[in-house]
Amino acid sequence: MGEVTTGRTDRGSRGRRPRRRVRVATVAGVPVLLSASWLVIAVAVTVLFGPVAARATGLPVPAAYLVAVVLAVLLAASVLVHEAAHAVAARRAGLHVEEVVVDLWGGHTSLGRPATPGTSAVVSVVGPLANLVLAGVASAARALVPAAPADDVVSVAAVVGFLLAAVALVNLVLGLFNLVPGLPLDGGRVLEALVWRVSGSQDTGAVVAGWAGRAVAVALVAWGVGRPLLLGAPPSLFTVVWVVVLAGFLWQGASASLTVARFRRRAAEVDLAAVARAAVAVPATASVADVVAAQGGAEPREVVLVDPLGRPVAVVPGGSVTDVPLHLRPSTPAAAVGLHVAPASVVPARLGAVATVEALARSGGAGVVLVDDTGRPTARVLPDDFAAAMGLR
């Protein structure tokens, strides 16, 4: 299952990267990470599809389980194609894309919040469409695989046909399911974009799509568990567990979207000018002595180090230069006492408080650097200051 995550305020993955991830590829300059939790899915697919592969191909059981392992890898590749489609579309729309992750829940793409409903809809819908295209390609390829000779006990064609049929079916289900209009599914993002376009408020769209996601979760349980009970055929334990886990994921994701929408509305009421600390720009090659002199000899409270193009690359927190002895300040690089500023932590001041709080969620201790329309740093916003303004401290 794929998911686009925009302006995340949690994902452990958006601030410091969780440790149990391995970088396996790069797509459009975006790192692709494989989470250790994906192994759970790999094992589940192998166990569930091993016997199926044995029946479909005629292979002995050990070999059939190896085919199921290959299938697990192909399914991970399908998720990667889904997420890569999100990432490429987002990059072409000018959005910052932080990472693509393949994990226990399928995968997700972390990217900046789209500025328009049209961009949001396009970035969201391309993932499921990529799966539907894969389903069509795999199905067409399956039709070209020759039938196994009647006297063959084990046929390569049977194995290839089985894998292609499975990939086609899974991608069809993955594509259609992700188009269901309810958050956190991609179809929920499309619904959010539609309501946003009509109402003029992205938060209103998120609320509508969030409640739709909750409704989808309830409907899934009713269909998977309630319907068989009403028909007098109790569902299997496997079906109950699978449906409840999936519905729980959907409910949690929808609820998180509702929480974020409420948080954004509260953040929008914060006076950004009141919480922003005025900053001065200093070349990244400057020394600590240069930083002190930048404000007429007084030690500046907030200093932003910029590269030759004027782009923020680090901040020098207030008080950090006082830790450097006077006689060492001329020879100590300011960067030595600075904190790195990631591109996602640089926000145009005109975007306001909501964009700032979203960037704060990814910024770590460096906070957010506000810039004017020319890209010149004007202020720095710290997480604690913003939280205090929202009444959270």
Sign of CA dihedral 306, 309, 310, 313: negative
Where a domain ends, among 239, 267, 295? 267
For residue 184, say if its preceding peptide bond is cis, omega within 30 degrees of 0.
yes
Whether residues 75 and 216 share a domain: the answer is yes
- What are phi and psi for residue 109, nearest 5 degrees? -120, 125
Question: Is 0.85 surpassed by the pTM of this model?
Answer: no
Whether residue 254 is found in the same domain as residue 281: no
Do 298 and 206 lie in one domain? The reply is no
Residues 263 and 277 in one domain: no
pLDDT truncated to tens, each residue of the chain (393 aa)? 555 555 433 333 333 444 578 888 888 788 888 888 888 889 989 998 999 999 888 888 899 999 999 999 999 999 999 999 999 999 999 888 888 888 877 788 888 778 899 999 999 999 999 999 999 999 999 998 887 665 555 578 889 999 999 999 999 999 999 999 999 999 999 999 999 999 999 999 999 999 999 999 999 999 988 888 888 888 888 788 889 989 999 999 999 999 888 888 888 889 998 999 988 899 999 999 988 887 665 555 689 999 999 999 999 876 777 888 989 999 999 999 899 998 889 999 998 998 898 888 777 777 999 999 999 999 999 988 998 998 876
Whether 37 and 105 share a structural domain: yes
The residue out of 232, 251, 267 marking a domain boundary is 267
The pLDDT value given to residue 275:
92
Eight-state DSSP code of residue 112: P
**Residue 77 shares a structural domain with residue 125:** yes
Clarify whether residues 321 and 252 are in a common domain. no
Q: By residue range, what is the domain housing residue 209?
A: 4-267
Same domain, 133 and 15: yes
Both 137 and 91 in a single domain?
A: yes
Q: Report how far apart, in Å, the C-alpha atoms of 259 and of each of 9, 117, 129, 150, 254 are.
A: 10, 20, 28, 60, 9
Nearest-angstrom CA–CA distance, 26 and 10: 24
Is the domain of 179 the same as that of 33? yes
Please count the structural domains in the chain. Answer: 2
Together in a domain, 254 and 361: no
3-state secondary structure 233-263: CCCCHHHHHHHHHHHHHHHHHHHHHHHHHHH
pLDDT tens, 327-372? 999 999 999 989 999 888 999 999 899 889 888 877 777 799 999 9
291 and 259 both lie in a single domain = no
Domain end point (choices 215, 248, 267): 267
Q: Which of 103, 106, 98 is nearest to 127 (CA)?
A: 106
Q: How far apart are CA 346 and CA 109, in angstroms?
A: 20
Q: Could you give the CA distance from residue 263 to residue 228 in angstroms, rounded to a whole number? A: 40
**CATH number for the domain that contains residue 277:** 3.10.580.10
